[in-house]
Amino acid sequence: GNSVTQMEGPVTLSEEAFLTINCTYTATGYPSLFWYVQYPGEGLQLLLKATKADDKGSNKGFEATYRKETTSFHLEKGSVQVSDSAVYFCALSVYGQNFVFGPGTRLSVLP
Amino acid sequence: NAGVTQTPKFRVLKTGQSMTLLCAQDMNHEYMYWYRQDPGMGLRLIHYSVGEGTTAKGEVPDGYNVSRLKKQNFLLGLESAAPSQTSVYFCASGAGEKLFFGSGTQLSVL
Protein backbone atom coordinates (compact mmCIF):
# COMPACT_ATOMS: atom_id res chain seq x y z
CA GLY A 1 0.00 0.00 0.00
CA ASN A 2 0.89 3.67 -0.09
CA SER A 3 2.83 5.13 2.81
CA VAL A 4 4.74 8.23 3.90
CA THR A 5 7.69 8.36 6.27
CA GLN A 6 8.94 11.55 7.90
CA MET A 7 11.84 12.35 10.15
CA GLU A 8 11.02 12.15 13.83
CA GLY A 9 10.68 15.35 15.75
CA PRO A 10 10.59 17.56 17.53
CA VAL A 11 12.96 19.83 15.67
CA THR A 12 14.16 22.90 17.53
CA LEU A 13 15.97 25.67 15.67
CA SER A 14 17.07 29.21 16.31
CA GLU A 15 15.55 32.00 14.25
CA GLU A 16 17.21 32.40 10.82
CA ALA A 17 18.53 28.83 10.84
CA PHE A 18 18.21 26.53 7.83
CA LEU A 19 15.44 23.95 7.95
CA THR A 20 15.22 20.51 6.37
CA ILE A 21 12.47 18.01 7.15
CA ASN A 22 12.94 14.70 5.37
CA CYS A 23 10.07 12.84 3.72
CA THR A 24 10.10 9.62 1.72
CA TYR A 25 7.19 7.75 0.23
CA THR A 26 6.05 4.43 -1.18
CA ALA A 27 3.26 4.44 -3.72
CA THR A 28 1.75 2.53 -6.58
CA GLY A 29 0.91 4.60 -9.59
CA TYR A 30 1.94 8.23 -9.94
CA PRO A 31 1.32 10.11 -6.72
CA SER A 32 1.08 13.82 -6.14
CA LEU A 33 3.05 14.98 -3.10
CA PHE A 34 2.14 17.60 -0.53
CA TRP A 35 3.29 19.39 2.57
CA TYR A 36 0.58 20.48 4.97
CA VAL A 37 1.17 22.67 8.03
CA GLN A 38 -0.80 22.71 11.28
CA TYR A 39 -0.49 25.77 13.51
CA PRO A 40 -1.43 25.42 17.19
CA GLY A 41 -5.16 24.92 17.71
CA GLU A 42 -5.94 24.86 13.99
CA GLY A 43 -6.61 22.35 11.24
CA LEU A 44 -4.11 21.49 8.54
CA GLN A 45 -3.45 23.90 5.68
CA LEU A 46 -1.85 23.12 2.35
CA LEU A 47 1.66 24.59 2.28
CA LEU A 48 2.88 23.39 -1.12
CA LYS A 49 2.52 20.57 -3.59
CA ALA A 50 4.16 18.90 -6.60
CA THR A 51 2.36 16.72 -9.07
CA LYS A 52 5.14 15.07 -11.10
CA ALA A 53 8.78 14.13 -10.97
CA ASP A 54 11.26 17.04 -10.75
CA ASP A 55 8.50 19.54 -9.97
CA LYS A 56 9.35 22.02 -7.23
CA GLY A 57 6.61 23.26 -4.95
CA SER A 58 7.17 26.53 -3.11
CA ASN A 59 5.28 28.85 -0.79
CA LYS A 60 6.13 31.31 2.00
CA GLY A 61 9.87 30.64 1.54
CA PHE A 62 9.45 26.87 1.83
CA GLU A 63 10.46 24.58 -1.03
CA ALA A 64 10.29 20.86 -1.81
CA THR A 65 11.32 18.97 -4.94
CA TYR A 66 9.63 15.77 -6.14
CA ARG A 67 12.50 13.25 -6.49
CA LYS A 68 11.21 10.10 -8.13
CA GLU A 69 14.62 8.39 -8.17
CA THR A 70 14.93 8.63 -4.38
CA THR A 71 11.14 8.65 -3.68
CA SER A 72 11.61 11.77 -1.59
CA PHE A 73 10.00 15.16 -1.06
CA HIS A 74 12.12 16.95 1.54
CA LEU A 75 10.92 20.31 2.89
CA GLU A 76 13.46 23.15 3.13
CA LYS A 77 13.55 26.78 4.17
CA GLY A 78 16.61 28.96 4.17
CA SER A 79 15.81 31.11 7.20
CA VAL A 80 13.09 30.11 9.64
CA GLN A 81 11.08 32.51 11.76
CA VAL A 82 9.36 32.09 15.11
CA SER A 83 6.04 32.19 13.24
CA ASP A 84 7.03 28.98 11.39
CA SER A 85 6.63 26.99 14.60
CA ALA A 86 4.05 24.34 13.76
CA VAL A 87 3.61 20.68 12.88
CA TYR A 88 4.47 19.76 9.29
CA PHE A 89 2.91 16.80 7.51
CA CYS A 90 4.11 15.18 4.33
CA ALA A 91 1.34 13.54 2.31
CA LEU A 92 0.59 11.87 -0.98
CA SER A 93 -2.46 11.13 -3.06
CA VAL A 94 -3.04 9.11 -6.18
CA TYR A 95 -5.58 10.51 -8.63
CA GLY A 96 -6.68 13.11 -6.08
CA GLN A 97 -8.19 10.54 -3.74
CA ASN A 98 -7.34 8.76 -0.53
CA PHE A 99 -4.65 11.00 0.87
CA VAL A 100 -2.00 9.32 3.02
CA PHE A 101 -0.28 11.43 5.65
CA GLY A 102 2.99 11.00 7.46
CA PRO A 103 3.13 11.19 11.27
CA GLY A 104 4.04 14.87 11.32
CA THR A 105 7.17 16.71 12.48
CA ARG A 106 6.88 19.36 15.16
CA LEU A 107 9.07 22.41 14.57
CA SER A 108 9.87 24.91 17.29
CA VAL A 109 11.76 28.07 16.37
CA LEU A 110 13.35 30.01 19.21
CA PRO A 111 13.97 33.77 19.06
CA ASN B 1 -15.89 32.75 4.17
CA ALA B 2 -16.54 29.86 6.60
CA GLY B 3 -14.85 27.01 4.70
CA VAL B 4 -15.11 23.84 6.80
CA THR B 5 -16.84 24.12 10.18
CA GLN B 6 -16.81 21.42 12.84
CA THR B 7 -18.97 21.21 15.92
CA PRO B 8 -18.44 20.75 18.79
CA LYS B 9 -14.84 21.82 19.43
CA PHE B 10 -14.48 19.89 22.68
CA ARG B 11 -16.40 17.04 24.24
CA VAL B 12 -15.98 14.67 27.15
CA LEU B 13 -17.89 11.37 27.10
CA LYS B 14 -18.22 8.45 29.43
CA THR B 15 -17.58 4.96 28.10
CA GLY B 16 -20.68 3.67 26.34
CA GLN B 17 -22.20 7.06 25.56
CA SER B 18 -23.01 8.08 22.02
CA MET B 19 -22.45 11.32 20.15
CA THR B 20 -22.43 12.85 16.69
CA LEU B 21 -19.82 15.19 15.26
CA LEU B 22 -21.03 17.57 12.58
CA CYS B 23 -18.99 18.84 9.66
CA ALA B 24 -20.31 21.49 7.29
CA GLN B 25 -18.63 22.94 4.21
CA ASP B 26 -19.76 25.82 2.05
CA MET B 27 -17.46 25.24 -0.93
CA ASN B 28 -19.70 22.81 -2.84
CA HIS B 29 -17.07 20.06 -2.64
CA GLU B 30 -18.02 16.53 -3.61
CA TYR B 31 -15.42 14.80 -1.44
CA MET B 32 -15.52 14.88 2.36
CA TYR B 33 -13.39 13.03 4.89
CA TRP B 34 -13.17 12.25 8.59
CA TYR B 35 -9.71 11.74 10.10
CA ARG B 36 -8.45 11.11 13.59
CA GLN B 37 -5.13 12.47 14.80
CA ASP B 38 -3.18 10.65 17.46
CA PRO B 39 0.31 11.44 18.77
CA GLY B 40 3.04 9.91 16.61
CA MET B 41 0.56 8.46 14.13
CA GLY B 42 -0.38 11.43 11.99
CA LEU B 43 -3.82 11.47 10.45
CA ARG B 44 -5.71 8.26 9.85
CA LEU B 45 -8.75 8.14 7.60
CA ILE B 46 -11.93 6.91 9.31
CA HIS B 47 -14.58 7.27 6.58
CA TYR B 48 -15.02 9.34 3.49
CA SER B 49 -17.68 10.32 0.98
CA VAL B 50 -17.42 10.98 -2.74
CA GLY B 51 -20.80 12.68 -2.97
CA GLU B 52 -24.22 13.16 -1.43
CA GLY B 53 -25.70 9.86 -0.29
CA THR B 54 -22.41 7.94 -0.52
CA THR B 55 -19.99 6.81 2.17
CA ALA B 56 -16.98 4.49 2.26
CA LYS B 57 -14.66 3.03 4.89
CA GLY B 58 -11.19 4.32 5.41
CA GLU B 59 -8.25 2.90 7.32
CA VAL B 60 -9.81 2.81 10.82
CA PRO B 61 -13.63 2.64 10.48
CA ASP B 62 -14.49 0.32 13.39
CA GLY B 63 -16.67 1.91 16.05
CA TYR B 64 -17.76 4.79 13.82
CA ASN B 65 -20.62 5.43 11.43
CA VAL B 66 -21.17 8.28 8.99
CA SER B 67 -23.90 9.83 6.91
CA ARG B 68 -23.94 12.29 4.01
CA LEU B 69 -27.61 13.14 3.56
CA LYS B 70 -26.82 16.62 2.23
CA LYS B 71 -23.84 17.56 0.08
CA GLN B 72 -22.65 20.20 2.52
CA ASN B 73 -22.81 18.06 5.68
CA PHE B 74 -20.88 14.97 6.77
CA LEU B 75 -21.76 13.47 10.16
CA LEU B 76 -19.56 11.17 12.22
CA GLY B 77 -21.26 9.06 14.86
CA LEU B 78 -19.94 7.09 17.80
CA GLU B 79 -22.62 4.65 18.94
CA SER B 80 -20.85 3.39 22.08
CA ALA B 81 -17.75 5.40 22.90
CA ALA B 82 -14.60 3.66 24.12
CA PRO B 83 -11.43 5.14 25.69
CA SER B 84 -9.52 4.11 22.53
CA GLN B 85 -11.57 6.72 20.67
CA THR B 86 -10.02 9.56 22.66
CA SER B 87 -8.45 11.62 19.90
CA VAL B 88 -8.64 14.81 17.89
CA TYR B 89 -11.03 14.49 14.96
CA PHE B 90 -10.66 16.48 11.77
CA CYS B 91 -13.09 16.86 8.95
CA ALA B 92 -11.88 17.84 5.51
CA SER B 93 -13.44 18.53 2.14
CA GLY B 94 -11.65 18.29 -1.16
CA ALA B 95 -11.51 19.92 -4.53
CA GLY B 96 -9.25 17.89 -6.76
CA GLU B 97 -5.94 17.54 -4.98
CA LYS B 98 -6.39 20.16 -2.27
CA LEU B 99 -7.94 19.40 1.09
CA PHE B 100 -9.54 22.00 3.32
CA PHE B 101 -9.64 21.14 7.01
CA GLY B 102 -11.83 22.16 9.89
CA SER B 103 -10.27 23.25 13.17
CA GLY B 104 -10.87 19.91 14.87
CA THR B 105 -12.86 18.33 17.68
CA GLN B 106 -11.01 17.23 20.80
CA LEU B 107 -12.81 14.21 22.22
CA SER B 108 -12.02 12.53 25.52
CA VAL B 109 -13.68 9.26 26.49
CA LEU B 110 -13.37 8.42 30.17
User: What's the pLDDT tens digit per position in B11-63?
Assistant: 999 999 999 999 999 999 999 999 999 987 888 999 999 999 999 999 999 99
Contacts of A89 in chain B (CB under 8 A): 42-43
Count Cα atoms within 13 angstroms, Cβ side, for A50. Answer: 22
DSSP A56-108: EEEETTEEEE-BTTTTB--EEESS--GGG-EEEEEEEEETTEEEEE---EEEE
d(CA A99, CA A23) in angstroms, rounded, equals: 15
Size of interface A-B (CB pairs under 8 A): 47
At A42 the pLDDT is: 87
**CB-CB under 8 Å, A43 with B48:** no
Range 30-49 of B in CB contact (< 8 A) with A: 31, 33, 35, 40-43, 45, 48
Contact predicate A14/A107, CB 8 Å: no
- Nearest C-alpha of chain B: how many angstroms from A72? 18
Partners of residue A59 in chain B, C-beta under 8 Å: none
pLDDT, position B1: 61
What are the pLDDT digits (tens) for A53-99? 999 999 999 999 999 999 999 999 999 999 999 999 999 998 777 78
What is the three-class DSSP state of A27? coil
* Chain B CB contacts of A43 below 8 Å: 4, 90, 92, 101-104
| pLDDT band (50, 70, 90) for residue B70 | very high
- Exposure on the CB side of residue A109, measured as CA atoms within 13 A: 16
Closest-CA distance of chain B to residue A77, Å: 22
Q: Report the C-alpha gap between A68 and B101 in whole angstroms.
A: 28
Average pLDDT along chain A: 93
